[in-house]
Structure 1
Amino acid sequence: MVANRLQENIGLAEQYFLQNNFSLAKSILEDVIKEYPDSPRANELLAYVVGNEGDLNNALSLLEKAVSFKDCSPTAFYELGSIYLSCNEDEKAGQVFQKAIALGLKTFGLHFEYGQALA
């Protein structure tokens, strides 16, 4: 029952995020994280929300937390690597890009940015 409510709230927040309604998505995700701080998806989504609001430091912290969980998506590793790359932290970027690749993410953007990190 608890897992269903968690997934419903995350799904609702994701819908608001996709509709660019960042304030509602943020509010829901902050509530979710208060109750379930170890939810990789909630931390990942909140990182995307605050990142779109321009708060890169908070997005970075949330993505670092999200990727610390075993059930985190490969996309979170890619996004974290992109932030590291934009901060000229090429070694860290390369490491998380490798993890995204190992988890099965195969996109042009990932491989392009991984190449940039290596260069």
Structure 2
Amino acid sequence: MGSFWLSLLLVLHILVGCAVIGFVLLQHGKGADMGAAFGSGASGSLFGATGSANFLSRSTAVLATIFFITSLALSYFASGFDWRGPSDLMESVAPTQAPVTIEASAPAASQEIPK
């Protein structure tokens, strides 16, 4: 994969990650419904009473899915894994040198400790 496309994918990944953070921060928590019960709700807003919550949650889900896909794509291209087959994989892991053997020396004769 070319350097341009990898850079473009990385920039897209960072932008989507920032957008996910922003959309999560814009959403109302569970306790925000109590304030809406006393008249401070946004029933006259652009999306309606619950439309903004649905829009934000759906947008967050779409952005999270895109973030997940770009994460997988970046990890795939960063690993440099070659799909040619297991024989090539085993050749790349096989040792190129003979294993080194270490001989253990015989323990020293035990000496009695005076009492």
Instruction: Give the TM-score, by structure 1 length.
Output: 0.28
From the two aligned structures, give the one with the greater helix fraction. 1
Instruction: Give the TM-score, by structure 2 length.
Output: 0.29
